[in-house]
Homo-oligomer: A and B are copies of this chain.
Amino acid sequence: MKVAVEEAQRKLSVYMRERGLKHTRQRDQILEAFFAAGGHVSIDDLLGQVQERMAGVGYATVYRTMKLFSEAGVAHERHFDDGQSRYEPVVDDEHHDHLICTTCGTIFEFEDPIIEKRQSDIATAHGLRVVHHRHEIYGSCIAPDACRHRARPT
């Protein structure tokens, strides 16, 4: 993970330098907290994490910063069924989709070449070239007891 943050820091620095944006303490802290959080963090959660490192940071800064990170290509914004924006680190520009457990809320990631292939065939058949896609599978635990073990504090 250390490596991932550093790569993101470099990528972000380049992006900011190119457009005369400034390096600030809050942007540093937000980036670190964001990568430390692992993935699929909501703004609320992230703000909480950031405030532990640096009191006084407000929502606006986190919102603005995450938007910046998305534009710089170091974060990806996601919208699942709960109506909040969630962000996940972009690592090596890899792509994946999500499988969400409706029992415990765990979010799994998956990537399936067959599905990807079908998608682009379907798009082509309609005269389109895939720009991006969203694919979320919501499922309930076959064995709820086992599922509970995977539960994480949202």
Contact = CB atoms under 8 A, between A and B. Distances in A.
Interface of A: 79, 81, 99, 101-102, 108, 110, 112, 114-115, 118-119, 122-124, 126-143, 146-147
A138 B143 contact: no
Contacts of A147: 127
Contacts of A133: 135-138
A123 B108 CA distance: 10
Nearest to A125: B110
Contact of A141 (B110, B128, B132, B135): B128
A132 B128 contact: no
A112 B126 CA distance: 14
